[in-house]
């Protein structure tokens, strides 16, 4: 049996510069150089700084990925690159390098949708069969997808404003906690009482799977200001209770919307029903536990890729590239970098654009 093609993946659509080598479902190397420190003073990702850092580091990432996998450039069978959606300067850096490598090595070029990379990861990590349901929750994305094939996605709903990770980060900022906000809010929430503050459960009264998280962060801001007016400041316990209340609200909204998404997905009679969750927010233990309960009660398999493959990385791009390559989907030198690129062309575009760039 011949071995599957060796694919070099490149990712530079937001604030992680990454390169990886993948053969079939084997990740030979996956290098991610983050940029948190570069953007820390600005309260969000600065596109120009991100683009410059990608341009400076992409080739270093590729070298390191080749070293770690102990393969040479000439051994690569194809180059897969994120061609969107994302911050255009960063996407361009990756696409230009991929074109250069493709032309120089005489190897095929494959343009990959970043969201398809996330959405196909459960096939890389767990070998999930199509169709499965995916909840993508990160700092820049939040959507439910039915994944039917490498190019066949139905978006059932998504956030109409902030992504949950963005709301965690803003909540942390409001309460003076460190960034990224997800882990620090989660740690505080463990010490808090989620019932003390009554926080909204946005859009639960509306049918369907669309979500909204920006109002929650405003509710936290109001509660904080009310406490400051009443008592002159926040105690440790106030902070913990606010974090617990916020996290419980996000958890409840995502769990209920997941129940609704499962009902829509079930209508397709999937032979091996499964829900996969991906994105940085999938690291949240309270959220995971709630989703596991939903899946248990609905008799559905629950999977979450390991965190290093849940958050932005290039292995997912290489893997998605390999699925496209198997279908003969090769790009040429006209491959364009796209700031917006919805996975589901039939679904209405989402409103809004968060700190992590355009949401497709
Ligand atoms: O997937 P990711 O690394 O980057 C993109 O947004 O594409 O996700 C980062 C986001 C941040 O907003 C971070 O605060 C959030 O994921 N996050 C968490 C946790 N760990 C990271 N949110 C909630 N709970 C966590 N434990
Ligand atoms: Zn992402």
pLDDT of 262 over the 90 cut = yes
> In which band, very low, low, confident or very high, does the pLDDT at 349 lie, cut at 50, 70 and 90?
low
Look at strands 142-149 and 132-137 and give their pairing: antiparallel
Question: 238: CA distance to ligand 2 center in Å?
Answer: 32
> In which band, very low, low, confident or very high, does the pLDDT at 105 lie, cut at 50, 70 and 90?
very high
Percent of the chain with pLDDT over 70: 96
Q: What is the largest CA-CA distance in the chain?
A: 72
Residues with CB under 6 A from ligand 1: 14, 138-140, 165-166, 168-169, 180-183, 186, 279-281, 283-284, 311-312, 356
Least confident range from 279-283, 315-319, 350-354: namely 350-354
Give the tokens for residue 124.
């890389």
State which CATH number among 3.40.50.1370, 3.40.50.10420, 3.30.420.40, 3.40.50.300 fits the domain covering 6-119+309-326. Answer: 3.30.420.40
SS3 annotation, the chain: CCCCCEEEEEECCCCEEEEEEEECCEEEEEEEEECHHHHHHHCCCCHHHHHHHHHHHHHHHHHHHHHHHCCCHHHCCEEEEEEECCCHHHHHHHHHHHHHHHHHHCCCEEEEEHHHHHHHHHHHHHCCCCCEEEEEECCCCEEEEEEEECCEEEEEEEECCCCHHHHHHHHHHHCCCCCCHHHHHHHHHCCCCCCCCCCCCCCCCCCCCCECCHHHHHHHHHHHHHHHHHHCCCCHHHHHHHHHHHHHHHHHHHHHHHHHHHHHHHCCCCCCCEEEEECHHHHCHHHHHHHHHHHHHHCCEEECCCHHHHCCCCHHHHHHHHHHHHCCCCECCCCCCCCCCCCCCCCCCCCCEECCEECC
Question: 56: CA distance to ligand 1 center in Å?
Answer: 25
Q: Do 6 and 47 meet the contact criterion of CB atoms below 8 Å apart?
A: no
pLDDT in the model for residue 350: 55
For domain 130-305, the CATH class is alpha beta
pLDDT in the model for residue 140: 85
Question: 141: CA distance to ligand 2 center in Å?
Answer: 7
Give the residue among 105, 51, 125 at the shortest CA–CA distance from 337. 51
Q: Do 258 and 214 meet the contact criterion of CB atoms below 8 Å apart?
A: no
Closest ligand 1 atom to 181 CA: 14
> In which band, very low, low, confident or very high, does the pLDDT at 183 lie, cut at 50, 70 and 90?
very high
In the chain, where are the structural domains located? 6-119+309-326, 130-305
Question: Which residue out of 113, 117, 139, 162 has the highest number of ligand 1 atoms within 8 Å of its CB and is therefore the one to mutate?
Answer: 139
pTM value > 0.85: yes
Cis peptide leading into 180, omega within 30 of 0? yes
pLDDT in the model for residue 39: 81
Question: 29: CA distance to ligand 2 center in Å?
Answer: 19
Ligand 2 being an ion, which residues bring their Cβ within 5 A of it?
Answer: 312
Residue range 10-35, pLDDT digits in tens: 999 988 999 999 999 999 999 999 88
């Amino acid at each position: 049996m011949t071995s599957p093609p060796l694919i070099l993946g490149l990712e530079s659509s937001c604030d992680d510069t990454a390169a990886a080598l993948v053969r079939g479902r084997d990740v030979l190397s996956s290098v991610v150089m983050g940029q948190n420190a570069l953007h820390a003073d600005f309260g969000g990702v600065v596109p120009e700084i991100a683009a410059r850092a990608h341009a400076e580091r992409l080739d270093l990432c590729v070298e390191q990925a080749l070293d770690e996998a102990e393969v040479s450039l000439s051994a690569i069978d194809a180059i897969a690159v994120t061609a969107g959606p994302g911050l255009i300067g960063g996407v361009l850096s990756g696409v230009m390098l991929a074109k250069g490598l493709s032309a120089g090595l005489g190897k095929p070029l494959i343009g990959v949708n970043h969201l398809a990379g996330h959405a196909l990861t459960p096939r890389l990590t767990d070998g999930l069969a199509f169709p499965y349901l995916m909840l993508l929750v990160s700092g820049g994305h939040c959507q439910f997808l039915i994944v039917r094939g490498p190019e066949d996605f139905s978006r059932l709903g998504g956030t109409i404003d902030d992504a949950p990770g963005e709301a965690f980060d803003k909540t942390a900022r409001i309460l003076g906690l460190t960034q990224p906000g997800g882990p620090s809010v989660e740690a505080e929430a463990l010490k808090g009482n989620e019932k003390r503050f009554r926080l909204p459960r946005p859009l639960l009264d509306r049918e369907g799977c669309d979500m909204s998280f920006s109002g929650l962060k405003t509710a936290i801001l109001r509660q904080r200001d009310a406490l400051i007016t009443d008592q002159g400041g926040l105690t440790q316990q106030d902070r913990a209770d606010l974090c617990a209340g916020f996290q419980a609200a996000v958890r409840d909204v995502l769990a209920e919307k997941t129940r609704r998404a499962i009902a829509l997905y079930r209508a397709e009679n999937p032979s091996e029903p499964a829900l996969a969750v991906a994105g940085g927010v999938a690291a949240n233990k309270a959220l995971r536990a709630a989703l596991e309960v939903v899946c248990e009660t609905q008799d559905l398999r629950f999977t979450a890729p390991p965190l290093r493959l849940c958050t932005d990385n290039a292995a997912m791009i290489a893997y998605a590239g390999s699925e496209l390559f198997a279908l003969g989907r090769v790009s040429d030198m006209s491959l364009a970098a796209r700031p917006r690129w919805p996975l589901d062309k039939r679904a209405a575009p989402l409103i809004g654009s968060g700190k992590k760039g355009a949401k497709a």
